Amino acid sequence: MFKKFSILASLSSILPAFVRAQADTNPYEGYQVYVPPYYAAEVEAAAASITDSSLSAKASAVAKIPTFTWFDLVSKVPDLGTYLAEAQSLQESEGNNYLVQIVVYDLPDRDCAASASNGEFSIADDGLNKYKDYIDQIVEQVSQYTDVRVVAVIEPDSLANLVTNLSVSKCSGAEDAYKEGVTYAMQQLSSVGVYMYLDAGHAGWLGWPANLSPAAELFNDLYTAAGSPEYVRGLATDVSNYNALSATTADPVTSGNSNYDELHYIEALAPLLTSFPAHFIVDQGRSGQQNIRNAWGDWCNVVGAGFGTRPTTDTGSDLIDAIVWVKPPGESDGTSNTSSSRYDSSCGLSDSATDAPEAGTWFQSYFADLVTNANPSF
């Protein structure tokens, strides 16, 4: 273990000066965001199968939008090297600085308060050490392409579950492993210059007044205990969700919460981050339509959703580094098949799309609806 730490420290010391010197700045400024080829291919195939020529043309435009690549299985990690190599090649041929976006998502006993995205590692089966090895493999890939910037969202839903769902036995049993795993990820990924945004749920989760202080305390404590890793930039909100960044009027389902959109949530949380970097990115990939949910907590393939604001650094807020698409829109949130071992009852609600495949699998009809309902339209 000590030898591994020494190697990582050496890697950090040889990072290019332009990468290391800008750790306290918006990582998106001045960078071209890499478009993952697998998502572009999914979109192009989906567009080709849409018979309405006008809708098909609009769908094709989605292939040019950069999304995050989710590394939810250790077997996918070698793909990161492929993407980084391609980004480096583009950087060299075009003369533009490139940025690759990833989601680190493989904690043991993952998705502790739901079922749709249960992971491959179990705490009972040495899952924490397997997770650390997964992180080490990501570090190894990144260390080979230090001229390419990497931005990572760290473990969607994990820390938010520790704020609100410790009454769920799987979550309380995973608390220590989640904290240790996220701490390890922060420390090791920072050693190779990966800019990190820890997942912070959304306005309808941690944005409730009673949850703000406990959430901030958790982020502050974890960051400090980890040694305040240099490349932890801030927090990611609304990942895989549907909230507006700034709503003209409050959605009825938000009744009782003054933080009824992501901007209000961020502005309420930021002052409480006394020892954690108060910078944010916000997922708006499926936030084009509002007032579509029966309840604020409904999250699974919500009917009526549409593509939202395109990724940009023009956010209108000094707190928000970028509007991004973290969830690759068109990939299912979870299956509606009640016989599946990963079926979650949230995917059977009346405002969830029917005939939905397993989480992460392409959902053609839902993608077409996202295009139809896009706001702004393509």
Rg of the chain taking only CA atoms, in angstroms: 20
Q: Do the annotations mark residue 299 as ligand-binding?
A: yes
CA distances from 16 to 20, 39, 205, 209 (A): 7, 30, 39, 42
Instruction: Dig out the tokens for 16 from the structure.
Output: 């290019």
User: What are the backbone dihedrals phi and psi of residue 51, each rounded to the nearest 5 degrees, phi first?
Assistant: -80, -25
- For residue 322, the cross-strand partners are 281
Q: Do the annotations mark residue 72 as ligand-binding?
A: yes
Residue 196 belongs to what H/E stretch?
A: strand 195-199
CA distance 99 to 263: 25
CA distance 300 to 240: 9
Q: Do the annotations mark residue 76 as ligand-binding?
A: no
DSSP state of 362: B
Q: Are 272 and 337 in contact (CB under 8 A)?
A: no
Q: Which residues are catalytic?
A: 111, 157, 333
CA distance 71 to 150: 13
Q: Do the annotations mark residue 180 as ligand-binding?
A: no
Q: Are 66 and 283 in contact (CB under 8 A)?
A: no
Strand 32-33 with 280-283, pairing: unpaired
User: What are the backbone dihedrals phi and psi of residue 105, each rounded to the nearest 5 degrees, phi first?
Assistant: -150, 75
Q: Do the annotations mark residue 344 as ligand-binding?
A: no
CA distance 337 to 343: 6
CA distance 351 to 346: 9
- For residue 262, the cross-strand partners are none
Dihedral, 14, 17, 22, 27 alpha carbons, nearest 10: -70
Count other Cβ atoms within 10 Å, centred on residue 218.
19
User: What are the backbone dihedrals phi and psi of residue 98, each rounded to the nearest 5 degrees, phi first?
Assistant: -110, 150
Q: Do the annotations mark residue 205 as ligand-binding?
A: yes
Q: Are 77 and 93 in contact (CB under 8 A)?
A: no
Q: Which is nearest to 117 in space by CA: 80, 157, 177?
A: 157
Annotated binding residues for substrate, written as ranges, equal: 70, 72, 202, 205, 241, 299, 327, 331
Annotated binding residues, written as ranges, equal: 70, 72, 202, 205, 241, 299, 327, 331
